A and B are shown apart, each in its own frame.
Chain A
Amino acid sequence: MNDTLTHPLVRAFLSAVEQRVVALPEQQRRELLADLSEHIEVSLAEAGTDPSGSEEDAVRRVLGLLGAPADIAAAALAEEPGDGAPVPASGGHTALTLALAVAPLPVLLVPGVGPVLALAAMVTALVRLWRSAQWTRPEKRRATLLLLSPLLTVPLLVLLGAVATGGLSAAAILAVVALALGLPVVATVLLGRSAARLRRAHAL
């Protein structure tokens, strides 16, 4: 009974589905794989009375009717609008979020209101990032860490600069900001690429 599930074709099929539904919550993922396994077992048991054809043919027929692993995974992800399947957002909406995400450091250099504007831009960018349905949770976590990295890299670079040169000129401060901007820029490039990929996939 259980040995039908150890058939190489069945194992390959189930693992192909499993690989494509990693974004599903644990329980739904297990349920889907259990449902498919049961379906295969039952279908093969019911086809078992057919004396013509080999076991291999029967397995191929059952898997063929189940459909492509990619289609099954897509149907499962489509049932999960929240965490599972990201939903694309407009290019304009995304561009504004990304612009706000890189704004804080350059804005910081504005005399007087700089720090207030930088803080406002950072908070708005993070709120828009986490509210958006177009990025997955791991993507959001990674982007948040990279965007907040200047809190660590700026003091560090300033300290290094001060120790090395015994005081910081205006040019050195600009250089520090430019350096610290690296990681937030990486974050926005990654977010932008993933958003564009998602829009393209849905436009197909």
Chain B
Amino acid sequence: MPGEADGRVASQLRKGVLEYCVLALLRDGPRYGVELLAELARVEVMATSQGTIYPLLSRLRRTGLADTYLQESESGPPRRYYTLTDAGRAALAEFTAHWPAFRAAVDHFLTPGETA
């Protein structure tokens, strides 16, 4: 279920990293909106009201990190596929490079006895 009960902390944490998770989901190839959201929803902490992802996708497209194209489907309407641009790939690489140190820094403060 979309994480509403987990409340404020989870939603604050998600805010900073969600767009990089989306970029990461596009790393290995284009995905269409419904598919992308289903992938996100499989991981509980990233699950959120699906509709709130579309403004994020729209910004990724507007800022040139992602691109979209329409492709016909065998069932139903054509699907809008999202694909990473070079700028999107670079942003993802930058985040990937920073993340381990960031995660270690948070762990450092959270682990009892680590800060004297």
Contact = CB atoms under 8 A, between A and B. Distances in A.
B54 to A, nearest CB: 4
B30 interface: no
B56 A79 contact: yes
Interface stretch (B21-29, B44-52, B91-99): B44-52
A67 B52 contact: yes
B49 A42 contact: no
A20 to B, nearest CB: 12
B90 interface: no
Given A41-B77, A45-B75, A48-B76, A31 B49 contact: no
Nearest to B62: A28
Contacts of B2: 65, 67
Contacts, number: 84
Give the size category of A's interface with B: 20 to 34
Contacts of B37: 39
A1 B77 contact: yes
B14 to A, nearest CB: 11
A72 interface: yes
A12 B57 CA distance: 23
B20 interface: no
Contacts of B53: 75
A150 to B, nearest CB: 42
Contact of B33 (A42, A65, A67): A42
A144 B38 CA distance: 48
**7 closest A-B pairs (Cβ-Cβ)?**
A67-B49, A45-B76, A75-B52, A72-B51, A66-B51, A76-B55, A35-B54
